[in-house]
Chains A and B, each alone.
Chain A
């Protein structure tokens, strides 16, 4: 296992854990804490309502943080971009070839990157990203570094 594999493993594990939508999750933490404090403030009032059904004290801050993080992540999860079936098949094909030993790791890397090039050349970026790309390319060319 070389350095590249370790980096890849670390990135995979971090992403699987909780980094798919970090900004939303962090905002979920903030909202969860605020909700918990607001709720704690109103507990004496709430105790007189439904106290036989719900024990209000058991709803601690972990509960509120979990609910908020879930709330902030559910919309991005539903609206996530689905990749075309063709691309998934192509990715599977490369992985399969590598597993069977028909191509080396370097060849697989090259093919993955060429597949990404194909995708890039076939889509039009949205206006915001297009403008950003144009501006950095323009300035970089003008600065004479290229």
Chain B
């Protein structure tokens, strides 16, 4: 590995890490600290952590709700919510609940893309370090592959966001299926009202007749 390659790969890693955002860095830091604590804790200590965690979730959490979401780690979801609900050019046919669920979907996609970028950035750092220590041979294409993967997730999220803000999202089979899959994955798993013990996704026929027609008057052959 020559100096130019090392410098270029470091720049690519830094770009990915900076694009991922500080809330994801914090998440990673807490996840690492929690894992280390859990692994190094004795049995007595782990019981104490559990007790503290339960106490925190029941007593401390309500006070934290006073902090505005837009000021803390959920700031991105707040931005998505604001844009989807208040933009004049949003031409989607989603109901209010549908828009909120779409906002949750975008937030998940956003966090997923940024954590992927951070992991890819750290991967490039790790690869560089291992190459310097002669444990691996350096190959430039691998660095570009990691970078491309990180950026591809960002591009995917960018288009989903753009289409969502303008109300275009969900207007084709691929996106409709994607959002429905998200809803199924994030729904209450104890809801077994559907056929074969599955989650009930569609209303009963009687209820469907009473409510507004799903097909908006369009029928086969018309």
Contact B176 A120 (CB under 8 A): no
Contact B162 A22 (CB under 8 A): no
Chain A interface extent, by class: 35 or more
The contact of A23 among B92, B115, B178, B221, by CB within 8 Å, is: B115
Chain A nearest Cβ from B58, distance in angstroms: 14
The contact of B216 among A36, A90, A114, by CB within 8 Å, is: A114
Interface stretch, picked from B33-41, B47-55, B146-154, is B146-154
A102 and B175 in contact, given A122-B202, A122-B203, A125-B101 (Cβ under 8 angstroms): no
A10 and B159 in contact, given A19-B153, A119-B201, A136-B100 (Cβ under 8 angstroms): yes
Chain A nearest Cβ from B18, distance in angstroms: 16
Q: In chain B, residues 147-195, which have Cβ atoms closer than 8 Å to a Cβ of chain A?
A: 149-150, 152-153, 155-156, 159-160, 162-163, 168, 170-181, 183-189, 191, 194-195
Contact B68 A126 (CB under 8 A): no
A40 in contact (CB, < 8 A): yes
List B contacts of A126 (CB < 8 A).
186-189
Contact A87 B180 (CB under 8 A): yes
List A contacts of B43 (CB < 8 A).
none
Majority DSSP secondary structure for residues of A touching B: helix
Contact B201 A123 (CB under 8 A): yes
Question: With A and B bound together, what is the CA distance between A102 and B82 in angstroms?
Answer: 36
The contact of B188 among A80, A107, A113, A125, by CB within 8 Å, is: A125
A91 in contact (CB, < 8 A): yes
Chain B nearest Cβ from A66, distance in angstroms: 12
Question: With A and B bound together, what is the CA distance between A36 and B180 in angstroms?
Answer: 39
Contact B82 A140 (CB under 8 A): yes
Give chain A's interface residues, CB within 8 Å of chain B. Answer: 4, 7-8, 10-12, 14-15, 17-19, 22-23, 25-27, 29-30, 33-34, 36-37, 40-41, 61, 80-84, 86-87, 90-91, 93-95, 97, 102-103, 105, 107-129, 132-133, 135-137, 139-140, 145-146
Give chain B's interface residues, CB within 8 Å of chain A. Answer: 65, 68-70, 74, 77-78, 81-82, 85-86, 92-95, 97-98, 100-101, 103-104, 107, 112-113, 115-116, 119-120, 122-123, 126-127, 130, 135-136, 142, 146, 149-150, 152-153, 155-156, 159-160, 162-163, 168, 170-181, 183-189, 191, 194-195, 198-203, 214-216, 218, 220-222
